[in-house]
Amino acid sequence: MSLSLPADPPSARSLTGVVPQVLDSLSGSPGWFPAARSAIVVVVDGLGRGNLSARAGHARFLVSQMAKKDAARSVFPSTTATALTSLLTGVDAGLHGIVGYRARVPGTLSAPNQLKGWETDGLDPLTWQRARPLLELESAAGRSCFVVSKSIYAASGFTRAIQRGATFFGAATVEERLEIAAQLAADHEGSLTYVYLPELDTIGHARGWESDEWVAGLERVDAALRRLDERLRPGTGVVVTADHGMVDVPPHGHVLLRDGDALVDDVDLVAGEPRLLQLYAAQGATDDVAARWRAAEGSRAWVMTRDEAVSAGLFGRTVDAEVLPRIGDVLIAARGSVAYYDDRLTDKKAQRMVGQHGSLTDLERIVPLIGLGGFGRTPSGR
């Protein structure tokens, strides 16, 4: 079957290439970004380029620094676990193996949470995530590397899986994290600092990105980044990007999967997340499951088999044989204002989310790529 998938903006660069390009700028081989003495990569979780543009009046500093071509294409699925892993390893999900929010451990009916399930579900950060983190590689080569994030993430399995090799600094607020990053960049020439700002994503999930609370959060981030830009040491390059954007889904857009529903016939396990379900079918039932979903939901979702998604390059040019069985047999990528929930689960907390992501729409997958400081001047190729 031929898939009709959305086309990426021709100017959008891959999120996977951002950190390698920043490292090139530090090594005297500038490409996307000019040469820099030290660099800071800021990830504003959940800040899609479309979300930012729609609220431009509340982020005047960021928007003033953003040219039309300042965009990046996030990964598939457009979810934090997959996107941050690709960002900090420089490879796609088909190689690093973090193929979604929840994905099956091959040969089992277990689908651990790829952000929080490392400790509870026994995932080994050194082996389940299969690519060596760029921060570890650079640190081993002698570069000073730092992570500035919330303190609660310091010892997490996910942090170890993708950020090991860097020195971790914890700080409670957006402002404190950016202030620490600026000081680290000033004190350590040639260094790379990664800063994680999860606040907007948290607000978006709870209230929606169209809420007053999200707008207030955006204003705070914008003001903090303005102050960062003002205090940077000359020659420090900063790139501001995101892991994904966000779509608000109203309660009437919830599709609840229940016992007796034909859509879960021959499905052994439902994983992924509400905007990108990954269905693991009974032996030999993949085509039947896909056909039922296409008939019922094909008007508001892209329905693909694993083979179709892999052939379309959604998980990267190469999908390793060890990674392949982690991917669902049938993938349901929402394109309308819908979200799919397994209502058979006791825990209904996910059904209270407003802002969501994971699929292929532009709001979810196209993120800003904004240069500040030494990267704010117009470099070749931007």
Are 181 and 79 within one domain?
Answer: yes
Identify whether the C-beta of residue 186 lies closer than 8 Å to the C-beta of residue 231: no
Give the residue numbers spanning the domain of 288. 251-352
Are 154 and 45 within one domain?
Answer: yes
Q: Given this model, what pLDDT does residue 10 score?
A: 67
For residues 88, 89, 95, 97, the Cα torsion angle rounded to the nearest 10 degrees is: -40
Residue 278: how many other CB atoms lie within 10 Å: 27
283-291 long-range contacts, CB within 8 A, separation 24+: 286/329, 286/330, 289/265, 289/329, 289/330, 290/330
Q: Given this model, what pLDDT does residue 119 score?
A: 87
Are 160 and 182 within one domain?
Answer: yes
Instruction: Flag whether pLDDT at 241 surpasses 60.
Output: yes
Cα-based distances in Å from 283 to 286, 308, 320: 8, 18, 21
Reported pTM: 0.96
Q: Given this model, what pLDDT does residue 378 score?
A: 44
CA-nearest of 258, 242, 271, 246 to 117 is: 271
With a CB cutoff of 8 Å and minimum separation 6, the contacts of 141 are: none
Are 271 and 158 within one domain?
Answer: no
Sequence-ordered strand ranges (E) for 126-182? 145-149, 167-170
Instruction: Flag whether pLDDT at 343 surpasses 90.
Output: yes
Identify whether the C-beta of residue 284 lies closer than 8 Å to the C-beta of residue 91: no
Segment (H or E) for 136: helix 134-140
Q: What is the CATH number of the domain that holds 313?
A: 3.30.1360
The overall average pLDDT reported for the chain is 95
Q: How long, in residues, is the chain?
A: 382
Strand bridging mode 38-44 / 192-197: parallel
Domain assignment present for 104? no
Q: What is the pLDDT of residues 126-158, one digit of tens each?
A: 999 999 999 999 999 999 999 999 999 999 999
337 phi/psi in degrees, rounded to 5:
-85, 65
Q: What is the pLDDT of residues 19-29, one digit of tens each?
A: 999 999 999 99
Residues paired with 38 in a beta bridge: 236
Identify whether the C-beta of residue 91 lies closer than 8 Å to the C-beta of residue 316: yes
Q: What is the CATH number of the domain that holds 60?
A: 3.40.720.10
Are 337 and 366 within one domain?
Answer: no
Identify whether the C-beta of residue 129 lies closer than 8 Å to the C-beta of residue 98: yes
Q: What is the pLDDT of residues 170-202, one digit of tens each?
A: 999 999 999 999 999 999 999 999 999 999 999
Are 22 and 167 within one domain?
Answer: yes
Domain assignment present for 43? yes
What is the count of structural domains for the chain? 2
Place of tokens 């898939």: 3
Instruction: Flag whether pLDDT at 382 surpasses 60.
Output: no
Instruction: Flag whether pLDDT at 11 surpasses 90.
Output: no
Are 238 and 288 within one domain?
Answer: no
Between CA 217 and CA 234 the distance in angstroms is 28
Q: Given this model, what pLDDT does residue 7 score?
A: 75
Q: Given this model, what pLDDT does residue 380 score?
A: 33
Are 212 and 65 within one domain?
Answer: yes
Between CA 246 and CA 47 the distance in angstroms is 7
Between CA 138 and CA 136 the distance in angstroms is 6
Counting residues of the chain whose pLDDT is more than 90, the rounded percentage is: 92
Between CA 303 and CA 295 the distance in angstroms is 10
Q: What is the pLDDT of residues 58-91, one digit of tens each?
A: 999 999 999 988 999 999 999 999 999 999 999 9
Domain assignment present for 114? no
